[in-house]
Amino acid sequence: MKRLAAIFILLGFLCVGCAEKSTPKEVSLKLDPSKVEWFKDAKFGMFMHWGLYSILEGSYNGHTMPDTTFPQGNTWYAEWIKPRLEVPDDYYNGLINEFNPVKYDPDSWVKEAKNAGMKYLVITAKHHDGFALWDSDVSDFDIASTPYKKDLLAPLVAACKKYGLKYGFYYSHWQDWEDPDGAMPYWYPWRPDEDFEKYWQRKSLPQVKELIEKFDPDLLWFDTWDWENHITPERRDELIRLVRSLSDKCLINGRICYSNPGDNIDFLEMHDNAYPKEMLDKPWQTPATMQNSWAYHGKDYNWKPANRMLRYLVNNTSMGGNYLLNVGPKADGTLPAPAIRRLREMGAWLDVNGEAVFGSSPTDYKMPEGIYTTQKETPDGKNLYIFLTSPVPSVTVPAVLSGKCEVLETGQPIDMSVIGEETVITLPESIFKDDSIVVLRCH
């Protein structure tokens, strides 16, 4: 059956190639900017790294990442276990016979994301190992070949729709360690470009097409970084054109070609866990880990406190960026308990302070370290929100605020006095009751 499907795919794919080459000018590489508004307002999303690597949980054959006895073993990234801990191809690809996430409950995943305040979810439809979480017509290295058999993406998409979250797919368009022509890590022999082109045409472009046609995603998350790669401007634009020709809403991230994203991507993607100190001229986000690893790593105990992660969220929000926080599900489909606790803590803070975050925009006030601001138009006028990440006796805002000021969570009134062109806000010590971020609403 799959063989027959493969023939159709090949024919279909040839057509994609034809369409690509015969209609390049008809398809605009630019998306209507209004389609990016939801992303700018969303601020907070869930990233999920899940695949065959989740079975190994960062350990193989008595070795646990990071392991410096391997030349390339010094990393926590558990989804990289195959090349880093030199797991043989047969063993790793044979994990396909073990992947059986019988406890997978996408409804509960999306509920956790929603309760945390997240507005969108991005999952690894295919990571660098080449394994597809959906029943792919293009490759048998997919969920349909596992004991579980059932497509994992369709029910997740349904749950996102049910709870009102936007959804997107991470797709490793460049690295593919299973395909004989896919790109490999830099310490392997360089894949000749004509071979890479075979992978590009046979698997990468057709799987992207499949993802859009089957699931109609709100965004696609491609992944290159500083390494030299095969994504030339021509291939980058070929992929953008393909996406645009199939969807008039699907956002594309800057990592489609990190070093040269061009003008037609929809938002910039920072380095992993990187927080810019300045405003950027495009929408942007930071992909961030909750442990050190992206994929679930059973011995990575470096869980970040919820409070620190809220600071990253607030930092990004104050500069017009988003925070895409990762959770690595276990291979059985459950979410790790430390991740759940942190999501709930963040959600509880956002429940009372989300007004200052969601739908807000940055101000141009230069504030001291640890103090952030956002603003928002409301029916009662423009609100200024001030985030205090540690106790301070006063804050000076370089603007005249003539209305009132209060603690957002409690409504406690706060004194302000205008001095010249500035407003000095005096803060009673009693508002800093614990180490959570205090938000003021002023106008």
| Count of positions on this chain that bind ligand FHN (CB under 6 A) | 8
Q: Which C-beta is closer to ligand FHN: that of 324 or that of 425?
A: 324
Q: Which stretch binds ligand FHN (CB under 6 A): 75-83, 142-150, 195-203, 366-374?
A: 75-83
**Residue 377 near ligand FHN by CB under 6 A:** no
**Residues in 317-376 at the binding interface with ligand FHN, rule: CB under 6 A:** none
**Residue 45 near ligand FHN by CB under 6 A:** no
Q: Which C-beta is closer to ligand FHN: that of 60 or that of 294?
A: 294
Q: Which C-beta is closer to ligand FHN: that of 53 or that of 215?
A: 53
- Smallest gap from Cβ 283 to ligand FHN, in A, equals 17
Q: Which stretch binds ligand FHN (CB under 6 A): 35-43, 77-85, 153-161, 182-190?
A: 77-85
- Smallest gap from Cβ 261 to ligand FHN, in A, equals 15
- Smallest gap from Cβ 123 to ligand FHN, in A, equals 11
**Where does residue 359 rank: exposed (0-12), middle (13-18), buried (19+ CB within 10 A)?**
middle
**Residue 77 near ligand FHN by CB under 6 A:** yes
Q: Which C-beta is closer to ligand FHN: that of 70 or that of 358?
A: 70
Q: Which C-beta is closer to ligand FHN: that of 44 or that of 387?
A: 44
Q: Which C-beta is closer to ligand FHN: that of 9 or that of 123?
A: 123
**Residue 225 near ligand FHN by CB under 6 A:** yes
The rounded distance, in Å, linking the Cα atoms of 417 and 410 is 21
Q: Which C-beta is closer to ligand FHN: that of 261 or that of 375?
A: 261
- Smallest gap from Cβ 387 to ligand FHN, in A, equals 26
- Smallest gap from Cβ 79 to ligand FHN, in A, equals 5
Dihedral class, residue 370 (left if φ above 0, else alpha if ψ from -120 to 50, else beta) = left
Q: Which C-beta is closer to ligand FHN: that of 282 or that of 443?
A: 282
**Residue 131 near ligand FHN by CB under 6 A:** no
Q: Which C-beta is closer to ligand FHN: that of 328 or that of 336?
A: 328
Q: Which C-beta is closer to ligand FHN: that of 8 or that of 227?
A: 227
Q: Give the residue nearest to ligand FHN (CB).
A: 287
**Residue 79 near ligand FHN by CB under 6 A:** yes
Q: Which stretch binds ligand FHN (CB under 6 A): 7-15, 72-80, 90-98, 159-167?
A: 72-80
**Which distant-in-sequence residues (6+ apart) come within 8 Å of 134 by Cβ?**
125, 142, 143, 151, 152, 153, 154, 210, 211, 214, 215
- Smallest gap from Cβ 287 to ligand FHN, in A, equals 4
**Where does residue 255 rank: exposed (0-12), middle (13-18), buried (19+ CB within 10 A)?**
buried
| 427 closest CA partner among 404, 406, 400, 411 | 406
- Smallest gap from Cβ 80 to ligand FHN, in A, equals 6
**Residues in 252-311 at the binding interface with ligand FHN, rule: CB under 6 A:** 272, 287, 294
Residues of this chain that interact with ligand FHN (CB under 6 A) are: 77, 79-80, 223, 225, 272, 287, 294
